[in-house]
Amino acid sequence: MADCEKNIRAEHHQLLLEAIAQPADLVNYNNQQWELLLRLARRAQLSGYLAARLEKGGMLGSIPLRAANLLHSSLIQAKKQQQSVNWELNRVIWALDGREVPLIVLKGMAYLLLDLPNAAGRIFADLDLLVSKEDLNQIESSLLEKGWQHHALTDYDERYYREWSHEIPALVHPERGVEVDVHHTLSSPLGKLKIDPLPFRKAAVRVQGKDIYVLNPEDMLLHCAVNLFQNNELADDLRHLVDFNEMLQFFIYRQPDVFQQKLIERANQLELGNPLFYSLYFSRLLLRSPVSTDLEQQLDRKPGWIARHVMHYCVPLALLPQHPDQPSKRAVLARLVLYLRSHWLRMPLYRLLPHLTYKFYLSVFPGRSTDTGHNR
């Protein structure tokens, strides 16, 4: 029974991973493979990514029409989202109107600004910005003045954001609906893993021809790794590992002799060995990344062997999408382990338990609020 389950899982995971590793082979897939692949890719939010690869290779015309239509639809959607976030950035710069606030663009929009290979067809809906803590209020008030609004939040959520998490509540312009997340740190200030944003900000590089910044290549990879393995519960997060691996290959290709060394040195300097270790490890395991195993051996900090074994077992089950018709109980358990781990890493336990309880309460009683301030 257990073996049977394992085989089913292996097969559909293999299908998705093959498609990512060898997009040129997609022209040989039969209809049955396509139908399952399209469902898995949608769950993993990788259908735009696959579509962009096929389009670039001129292969959208060589696959079954129904598959091509769905992929084409995803690609159109992804392009629209990219345009929307790009325009939101344009409007944010306009709203700041020459004020001396250096903006560092993070994540999806940064990949797009640099035209990185993982940007094509990438699905993302938010604009993430990193600024200094001192500039936070200035930006918030400038945007509020020009028509952006805070998402409607309960008082509880608002307090969670401001006191315990690392962001001000997301800002949205009602006419455009794109979320602007202004961060002043790169991880939770209460998390066990302290990340000082200052070295990241200092090393940020200016985008050619624009008055905005992005993280430098090493830091961009480290930030991606931190988000994957420190801040997230990893469920259906394969796309972020794909980001990591694509960027890693690209930067190595651009600086063949030095980049890997720079990356290791930077990780050691910033004490981010653990997330980089896992990102390299799972890129190799799942995405056939050609980076040598020697690389992570040079890290000062590496996870212990128990952690490695637990992660080796749990991470693929969580990262990879479930079979849409045959959900696996083991994957559910693995995801729960990682969910707890992510919250454990982010918050002290005395904070975590009330927060999870509240989230649970909300999931059972949506629309109700424990905010007694208004119910007296």
Partner 1 sequence: MFWKACNFSSLPVENWNGEFTVFQPESGKTHFLNEMGLKILIILDQSPASLDTLCQKLSEYFTLQPDVQFPGQIARTLQRYEALGLIARVKESE
Partner 2 sequence: MKVAQLSLNELRALLVGPGLRVKAGPFNLSIRTRLPSLIRQLHSLYSRYSLVEEDEIVEFHVQVIPRRSVRRPFARLIQFEVDGRFPFPPVPLEQALATLEWGVNLVIAARINHFLLFHSAAVERNGHVLLLPAWPGSGKTTLSAMLMYHGYRLFSDEFGLMEPQSGEFYPLPRLMPLKNQSIEVVRNRLPEAMLGPEIPGTLKGTVVHICPTQASIEQSDETARPRWIVFPKWSAGAAVRLEPLPQSEAFLLLATNAFNYEVLGKTAFNAVTNLVRGCECRKLVYSDFDEALAVLNALTDG
Q: Give the nearer residue to partner 2 in terms of CB position, either 36 or 205.
A: 36
Nearest-angstrom CA–CA distance, 85 and 294:
39
The label of the residue with tokens 């940064």 reads: 110
Structure tokens at 351: 């904070």
Q: Give the nearer residue to partner 2 in terms of CB position, either 71 or 247.
A: 71
Nearest-angstrom CA–CA distance, 227 and 225:
5
Site string for partner 2, 266-305 (x = CB under 8 A): ----------------------------------------
Q: Which residues pair with 105 in a beta bridge?
A: 129, 214
Number of residues this chain uses to bind partner 2 (CB under 8 A): 28
Q: Give the nearer residue to partner 1 in terms of CB position, either 49 or 148.
A: 148
**Which of positions 77-136 make contact with partner 2 (CB under 8 A)?**
77, 79-80, 83
146 binds, among partner 2, partner 1, none (CB under 5 to 8 A by kind): partner 1
Nearest-angstrom CA–CA distance, 224 and 241:
8
Structure tokens at 360: 């649970």
72 binds, among partner 1, partner 2, none (CB under 5 to 8 A by kind): partner 2
Q: Does 365 bind partner 2 (CB under 8 A)?
A: yes
Nearest-angstrom CA–CA distance, 267 and 242:
20
Q: Does 66 bind partner 2 (CB under 8 A)?
A: yes
Nearest-angstrom CA–CA distance, 191 and 209:
37
Nearest-angstrom CA–CA distance, 42 and 73:
12
Specify whether the CB–CB gap between 222 and 248 falls below 8 A.
Answer: no
Segment near partner 1 (CB under 8 A), from 78-86, 241-249, 262-270, 360-368? 78-86
Q: Give the nearer residue to partner 1 in terms of CB position, either 62 or 83.
A: 83
Q: Does 99 bind partner 1 (CB under 8 A)?
A: no
For residue 236, is it left (φ>0), alpha (ψ between -120 and 50) or beta?
Answer: left
Q: Does 322 bind partner 2 (CB under 8 A)?
A: yes
- Which of 83, 149, 326, 357 forms a contact with partner 1 (CB under 8 A)? 83
Helix residue ranges per DSSP H, the chain: 2-21, 31-43, 47-56, 65-96, 107-113, 133-145, 155-159, 197-202, 217-226, 238-254, 259-270, 273-287, 294-297, 305-319, 329-346, 349-364
Q: Give the nearer residue to partner 1 in terms of CB position, either 80 or 206.
A: 80
Segment near partner 1 (CB under 8 A), from 35-43, 88-96, 197-205, 206-214? 88-96
Specify whether the CB–CB gap between 273 and 311 falls below 8 A.
Answer: no
Residue 65 makes CB contacts below 8 A (sequence gap 6+) with: none
Q: Give the nearer residue to partner 2 in terms of CB position, either 39 or 183.
A: 39
DSSP-derived 3-state class of residue 206: strand
Q: Does 76 bind partner 2 (CB under 8 A)?
A: yes
Q: Does 309 bind partner 1 (CB under 8 A)?
A: no
Q: Give the nearer residue to partner 1 in terms of CB position, either 127 or 311.
A: 127
- Which of 39, 53, 239, 240 forms a contact with partner 2 (CB under 8 A)? 39
Q: Does 329 bind partner 2 (CB under 8 A)?
A: no
Nearest-angstrom CA–CA distance, 195 and 19:
35
Residue 235, φ and ψ in degrees, nearest 5: -65, 125
Q: Give the nearer residue to partner 2 in terms of CB position, either 239 or 346.
A: 239
Specify whether the CB–CB gap between 69 and 45 falls below 8 A.
Answer: no
Site string for partner 1, 130-159 (x = CB under 8 A): ----------------xx------------
Q: Does 344 bind partner 1 (CB under 8 A)?
A: no
Q: Does 364 bind partner 2 (CB under 8 A)?
A: yes
Segment near partner 2 (CB under 8 A), from 28-36, 122-130, 268-276, 333-341? 28-36
Nearest-angstrom CA–CA distance, 303 and 314:
15
Where on the chain is the footprint of partner 2 (CB under 8 A)? 30-32, 34-35, 38-39, 42-43, 64, 66-67, 69-70, 72-74, 76-77, 79-80, 83, 322, 324-325, 327, 364-365
Where on the chain is the footprint of partner 1 (CB under 8 A)? 80, 83-84, 86-87, 90-91, 94, 146-147
